[in-house]
Structure 1
Amino acid sequence: MNRIEVLAPEGVPEVRPGADLVDLVLPLVELVDGDVLVVTSKVVSKAEGRVVGGTRDEALPGETVRVVARRGGTTIVRNRLGLTMAAAGIDNSNVPAGSVALLPLDPDASARGIRAGVRARTGRNVAVVVTDTAGRAWREGQTDIAIGAAGLVVAQEYAGRTDAHGNELAVTLPAVADEIAGAADLAQGKLAGRPFAVVRGRADLVLPPGQDGPGAAALVRSEGGDLFGYGAREAVVRALRGDPADRAPFGAPAEEAELAAAVRDVLGLVASRSARDGGSLVVTVPRGLVRPLQALAFAHGWEDVATDSPSDVRLRPVRP
């Protein structure tokens, strides 16, 4: 029988800038080898002096790499950590009025520091996860995720293994660091003042002393690797605008057949292989459809290049 325990100790005082989080947690819970110590990003931010005066709107530009989507008063952005979150993860709860908490500058480094501190003071080999709350595409509500980790296998690779029926698994990759974060939040609660939790029973995921692993940054998709780099409305606007700086979130260039099908389905036009350049497509376009064709090409990672005929548009994949 497999058993997992989650412990969330009471009695944590208000965390001030410069606080030693290891000193705060050790008197509250006895850690053992193989434990996963879970720490909310809020207390990490407080200890690291990341609580600043002002509002979320005022702090948002400095934490934003690019805007993904806006809906009413909600702005979803890709933040400087590569995370896609509402308001870049800036939070105004559980902080003094008139101030906000920014996410830690480097949550993986914060996790490594806590892990090393526990090891130095107790001799115990524990993993550390730093968590924050995030929404999910396709789902209502929020759950906690790992934004920092040290000493932990953050994702288990099942691709290539076979199940009990002999079926080979292709893309199964449980994000166990996120699962641990969600489990810890069940015990911590949002308003109970329990920023630490210990998840016990998955020592198999804890790395040996001296091995911190890739951290939670390994769970962040690279720019252009996400199928939803922009919101639905924003993707249309960006494609029509056609600014080369907006290309990356659309991902790698689509296959020739995919673009040709889109041209046919949306515009009713035929894209044929160029006789001059086998790596490009040529479309004979009525004057009023040139701009929509360019937008379609942009969204698929292609661009138009000069042709000898004013009625033809030649398209080719964008080169790195």
Structure 2
Amino acid sequence: MVFTLPGFGEIVAGDNLGALILEAAQSRLVDGDILAVTSKIVSKAEGRQRAATDREQAITDETVRVVATRAHPGGVTRIVENRQGLIMAAAGVDTSNAPDGIVLLLPIDPDASARALCTALRARTGLRLGVIITDTAGRAWREGQTDIAIGAAGLAVLDDLRGTADTSGRQLDVTVAAVADEIAGAADLIKGKTSGNPVAVVRGLGHLVGALTLAGASALQRPSENDMFRLGTNEAYAEGFAAGRAAALSEDTAE
């Protein structure tokens, strides 16, 4: 079961999200609920915004590594690894659902933001709750976008099924379900992009809810050394060409 919590107005820096969520929930939360919270309201509450005239510089400032670039009639799309370790277009810098003249940056530490919110909600309600902070992202090899979990607290973000058997009795050797991302995607179907409902409650997955010490959403990020496609085509070609040229120059020098 998934439902939204309506009644949120414009969020501004310094707002108490925990109090606003509980006011919107009106005692409807139950033990084991998972709250999917749009990253934009977390960013707004944490003051993670800057003037829209600085959007390109904001993208540069949030970038740790350029993965791929592609020119298009409207400019250049940059796929980058941002300071949160996420591979995203424009480093997650966004103008949608932001006040005029403002761009929003992702929370500095989405897992820490989720943990603080989850801690506050548990303390106020006495319930065993989980929190996911969601954001929209594209996916390699797939058209369109979906929401993913960029921050999480109080729930298992991965469901490791390795070593268990499928319905035919065959052992599963590689299956690890990204349940936090699946929850984020399901919640986005209900929240929508333009409805003004930034928080959804996912009910019925209480078996995933646990200690606040469980790994956050950063556990979903594949280490660069294990990424078979860590660069775009042009970037990989340029890197290989540079390496080959350096090797050739080294051989010439040795001779």
Alignment of 1:250-265 (within 5 A): none
Post-superposition Cα deviations, 1:119-140, rounded to whole Å, max 9, x if no partner, equal 1111111000000000000000
Who is 1:102 aligned against?
Answer: 105
For 1:225, the aligned partner's letter is N
Point out the structure with the larger helix share. 2
Who is 1:10 aligned against?
Answer: 6
* In structure 1, C-alpha distance between the alignment counterparts of 2:101 and 2:123, rounded to whole Å: 38
* In structure 2, C-alpha distance between the alignment counterparts of 1:223 and 1:24, rounded to whole Å: 38
Give the SS at the match of 2:224: coil
Unaligned runs of 5+ in 2: none
Unaligned runs of 5+ in 1: 243-290, 296-303, 311-320
Deviation at 1:305, TM superposition (A): 8.0
Who is 1:239 aligned against?
Answer: 240
Alignment of 1:165-314 (within 5 A): 165-208=168-211, 211-242=212-243, 291=244, 294=247
Deviation at 1:20, TM superposition (A): 0.5
* In structure 2, C-alpha distance between the alignment counterparts of 1:294 and 1:132, rounded to whole Å: 42
Deviation at 1:16, TM superposition (A): 0.6
Who is 2:19 aligned against?
Answer: 23
Larger C-alpha radius of gyration, 1 or 2?
1
Alignment of 1:17-56 (within 5 A): 17-29=13-25, 30-53=28-51, 54-56=53-55
Who is 2:161 aligned against?
Answer: 158
For 1:49, the aligned partner's letter is G
Conserved? CA contact 1:56–1:87, under 8 Å: no
Give the number of equivalent residue pairs: 247
* In structure 2, C-alpha distance between the alignment counterparts of 1:164 and 1:8, rounded to whole Å: 34
Q: 1:168/1:305 Cα in 2 relative to 1: closer, same or farther (>3 Å)?
A: farther
* In structure 1, C-alpha distance between the alignment counterparts of 2:250 and 2:174, rounded to whole Å: 37
* In structure 1, C-alpha distance between the alignment counterparts of 2:19 and 2:46, rounded to whole Å: 15
Deviation at 1:294, TM superposition (A): 4.6
Deviation at 1:292, TM superposition (A): 7.0
For 1:62, the aligned partner's letter is D
For 1:15, the aligned partner's letter is I
Conserved? CA contact 1:55–1:99, under 8 Å: no
Conserved? CA contact 1:133–1:143, under 8 Å: yes
Give the SS at the match of 2:184: helix
* In structure 1, C-alpha distance between the alignment counterparts of 2:9 and 2:131, rounded to whole Å: 20
Who is 1:301 aligned against?
Answer: none
Deviation at 1:223, TM superposition (A): 2.2
Are 2:70 and 1:59 aligned? no
Identity of aligned residues (%): 53
Runs of 4+ in 1 over 6 A off after TM superposition: 304-307
TM-score (norm 2): 0.92
Give the SS at the match of 2:186: helix
TM-score (norm 1): 0.74
Conserved? CA contact 1:56–1:100, under 8 Å: yes
Deviation at 1:306, TM superposition (A): 7.0
Query: What is the root-mean-square deviation of aligned Cα atoms in Å?
Result: 1.9
Select the structure with the greater relative contact order (CA < 8 A; seq sep ≥ 6). Answer: 2
Give the SS at the match of 2:151: strand
